[in-house]
Amino acid sequence: MTRPRVVVLGAGMAGLTAARRLARSCDVVVVDKGRGVGGRLATRRIGGATFDHGAQFLTTHTAEFAAAVAEWTGAGAVVPWFRGRIGPDGATDPDGHVRFRGAPTMNALAKHLAVGLDVRTGSRVTAVRHAAAGWTVTLADAGDLTADAVVVTAPVPQTLALLAAGGVDPTPHERDALHAVTYEPCLALMTVLDGPSGLDDPGAVDPASGPIDWMADNQVKGVSAVPAVTIHATPGFSHDHWDAPDDEVADALLAAAALGADPVAGARSVQRWRYARPVVEHPERCLVLDGDAPLVCAGDAFGGAKVEGAARSGAAAADAVAAALGTVSRRRAAPPGGVRGSSP
């Protein structure tokens, strides 16, 4: 029997989780516009320095995700970083949740999850449209993919644009639900230092006021061979300085950081995360668009932000696709000579 074909848009935590779960019963292709996998599980190198510059750590609040993290820990893909919360003076609440980090980097976890999957990076989707049976996913540089089902894990405003480009018309209820989702931005500064940052173990600080939301020393964290600091600006600063030149952003954040060493000239970079974290989330873990062929919207904006929320959304999307494909198969099997979804 031909296995259903599913295209998963996005190789972040949500997309990779969905793809791994669906790969048991379907032929799955994951497409991502990025140069590598991971999405906001992002790591970058500048010279000899390494920076986690998106998600900093992951926590477990559900048995389901705790089991996944235990498996990744066993595989060496994540390790505990510290326990508790980060405050203005570093770690507090030592009885709190364990904060895990990817090993050796946050992006390495995504690479671990992508092993064995058909992942096509550098593949920008420009439209998703209805096909005779299923969906056509149009790539900017590589033609079309056809699929019986699609899981879209892009940030919701980008998902809406892809649907509009393909003439897919969500119901008014679905459109309202998707338009209700909002995100906050984050400007992230990465800078190499000429000496120790002065941030004590575990190497992270969450200042009580000012433009900095979080900063972490990637060397103390165990990510970088040399002193290398990631500074995340607050949503307010990020919003107000979104269009400011990189140097202006960097100078303002470095002045506020008051680090124990100087930045190395020419060894810094600013990343603009337009959709850093959801502010208004969809209340369910995914949204299945009404119609015969399943198209499921997922990602961290669906029922619980953060890395854990993205993973749980990806799992829910996979289950929704599997359930819907079962329904579709039965429905299509009913009429004699009924049309079967065409997969390449």
Ligand X SMILES: Cc1cc2nc3c(=O)[nH]c(=O)nc-3n(C[C@H](O)[C@H](O)[C@H](O)COP(=O)(O)OP(=O)(O)OC[C@H]3O[C@@H](n4cnc5c(N)ncnc54)[C@H](O)[C@@H]3O)c2cc1C
> What is the C-alpha separation between 40 and 12, in angstroms, rounded?
7
Q: Which of 8, 19, 30, 55 binds ligand X (CB under 6 A)?
A: 55
User: Quick check: 41 binds ligand X (CB under 6 A)?
Assistant: yes
- Output 214 or 329, the one with its CB closest to ligand X: 214
CA-based nearest residue to 141, from 124, 154, 128, 158: 124
**Contact assessment for residue 123 and residue 161, using Cβ atoms and an 8 Å cutoff:** no
Q: How far is CA 87 from CA 84, 206, 218, in A?
A: 10, 5, 17
> What is the C-alpha separation between 7 and 151, in angstroms, rounded?
6
User: Quick check: 287 binds ligand X (CB under 6 A)?
Assistant: no
User: Strand, coil or helix: what is 201?
Assistant: coil
> What is the C-alpha separation between 306 and 304, in angstroms, rounded?
7
Q: Which of 108, 273, 288, 295 binds ligand X (CB under 6 A)?
A: 273
Q: Which of 113, 137, 229, 276 binds ligand X (CB under 6 A)?
A: 276
303-322 positions binding ligand X, by CB under 6 A: 305-307, 310
User: Quick check: 125 binds ligand X (CB under 6 A)?
Assistant: yes
User: Quick check: 145 binds ligand X (CB under 6 A)?
Assistant: no
Cβ of residue 270: shortest distance to ligand X, in angstroms? Answer: 12
User: Quick check: 13 binds ligand X (CB under 6 A)?
Assistant: yes
Burial per residue of 58-82, b for 16 or more beta-carbon CB atoms within 10 angstroms, e otherwise? bebeeeebeebbeebeeeebbeebb
> What is the C-alpha separation between 178 and 32, in angstroms, rounded?
21
User: Quick check: 34 binds ligand X (CB under 6 A)?
Assistant: yes
- Output 34 or 329, the one with its CB closest to ligand X: 34
Cβ of residue 20: shortest distance to ligand X, in angstroms? Answer: 13
Q: Contact positions toward ligand X, by CB under 6 A?
A: 9-15, 31-34, 39-41, 54-58, 124-125, 153-154, 158, 162, 186, 188, 232, 273, 276-277, 299-300, 305-307, 310
